[in-house]
Structure 1
Amino acid sequence: MADSIGNSLDRALEKVFTRPAPKSTQAQMKYLVKQLKGTKAAAQALGISQRTVERYVKGQLKRPRQELRGRMEGEVRKRWQPQIKAKARKKAASTDGLVVSTRARFGFTSAEGTTDDARIRDITQALPPEFADRLFTAREQGANEKQLQQIAADGLAQMYFRDNNSRAQGLGVEFTDVEHIRIDL
């Protein structure tokens, strides 16, 4: 299964954490209860009973099912160090930009109607802050993977294929069959 751009954006922000997130089940549950301001809210977020949450907090339960463990880790990562993530996002969107490394199928159409057959390419390209801002904003607004792919394709088209719009004017780039993608800040 191909990587998703949304998950890659999340992983890029997680790399800027200054402290590790809680690891043990009990520590994660205590963190969620504190962040969500109560065991009832934590139970609703995780889709389990309030009593089960209380048992994890007290240490009476220690090993959650795999699916619950995944939900807990996801909820903790989503809420962990929000100021650090916001600062990194702002920096990427205003001054630094981001780096996209991908292996995907790229095809082209030009203004004159000529085409080039799509082929798999490995590309690592720095994108300017405007594309970082567009990607993060779209992700926050709930954009789907296809919309995020289009923003990334626009950035790669401008910076990699059109050399920051200094050549190949009007070249359209199709970005499909993503085998892997990694985004770094």
Structure 2
Amino acid sequence: MGIVGDGLERAVQQAFTRPIPKSAGAQMRYLVKQLKGTRAVADALGVSQRTVERYVKDQIRRPRADLARRLEDAVRERWQPRVRERARRQAATSTGLVVDVRARFGFTAAPGTTDDARMRHLTIALPPSHAARLFDAQDVGAGEQQLRAIAAEGLGEMYFRDGGRRAHGLGVEFTDVERLEFDL
């Protein structure tokens, strides 16, 4: 995905009420149940159907490192969909998101003001409207640049323009992201 998309996914995963299955066999059994068959799991993970069957029967216990990562990622993206949706809906309607970012921020403003970009570390609470825009854009498959633009607009509104109380018409540039974390 990208920095913003992955950050949104990690934030939603913090709402999980149970940990994902730990063993490879339990993870495979979960995927077989979700995808309704070993062939679909084999296609999703890029392994043979027989390999999936052997993991399900616990004949193989330790997957290769790359398969273990793909397996955990596949389980994590399907784990607790209703909890995930509830957390997204709550952030988009009532609580908003907290963004912790270290990036280069610059801005365009009236002539005579400084617009030099500089590294800043910000921890800002975005209102539900900006959280909803981020989640909606992610749902329709927006790219990393579009998600960054929405995040920059939200950060600019809350930090530079202070919710509309100052710096009217200020356009924020958001580049060189070193770290970005979201929290619900």
Normalising TM by the smaller chain, what interval? over 0.9
* Matching residue of 2:182: 183
- Pick which of 30-39 and 65-74 moved more: 65-74
* Matching residue of 1:153: 152
Percent pairwise identity: 62
CA distance in 1, matches of 2:157, 2:134: 15
* Matching residue of 2:102: 103
CA distance in 1, matches of 2:112, 2:34: 55
CA distance in 2, matches of 1:70, 1:113: 52
CA distance in 2, matches of 1:141, 1:181: 21
CA distance in 1, matches of 2:112, 2:74: 48
Q: TM-score, normalised by structure 1?
A: 0.96
Q: 1:79 aligned to 2:78?
A: yes
Q: Residues 67-101 of structure 1: CA distance to partner in whole angstroms, max 9, x if unpaired?
A: 11111111101110000010010000011100000
- Equivalenced residues, count: 183
SS of equivalent to 2:116: strand
CA distance in 2, matches of 1:145, 1:179: 15
SS of equivalent to 2:115: strand
Q: Aligned letter for 1:121? A: R
- Pick which of 110-119 and 168-177 moved more: 110-119
Q: Aligned letter for 2:177? A: V
Q: TM-score, normalised by structure 2?
A: 0.96
Within a 5 Å distance, the mapping from 1:125-144 to structure 2 comes to 125-144=124-143
In the TM superposition, residue 137 of structure 1 has moved relative to its aligned partner by 1.2
* Matching residue of 1:4: 3
In the TM superposition, residue 28 of structure 1 has moved relative to its aligned partner by 0.3
Q: Aligned letter for 2:156? A: A
In the TM superposition, residue 112 of structure 1 has moved relative to its aligned partner by 4.0
Q: Which runs of 4+ in 1 moved over 2 A?
A: 111-115
CA distance in 2, matches of 1:35, 1:69: 18
In the TM superposition, residue 145 of structure 1 has moved relative to its aligned partner by 1.2
CA distance in 2, matches of 1:35, 1:74: 14
Within a 5 Å distance, the mapping from 1:8-23 to structure 2 comes to 8-23=7-22
* Matching residue of 1:59: 58
Q: 1:46 aligned to 2:45?
A: yes
CA 1:71–1:113 in structure 2 vs 1: closer, same or farther (change >3 Å)?
Answer: farther
CA distance in 1, matches of 2:64, 2:7: 25
Q: Aligned letter for 2:54? A: R
Gaps of 5+ in 2: none
In the TM superposition, residue 155 of structure 1 has moved relative to its aligned partner by 0.1
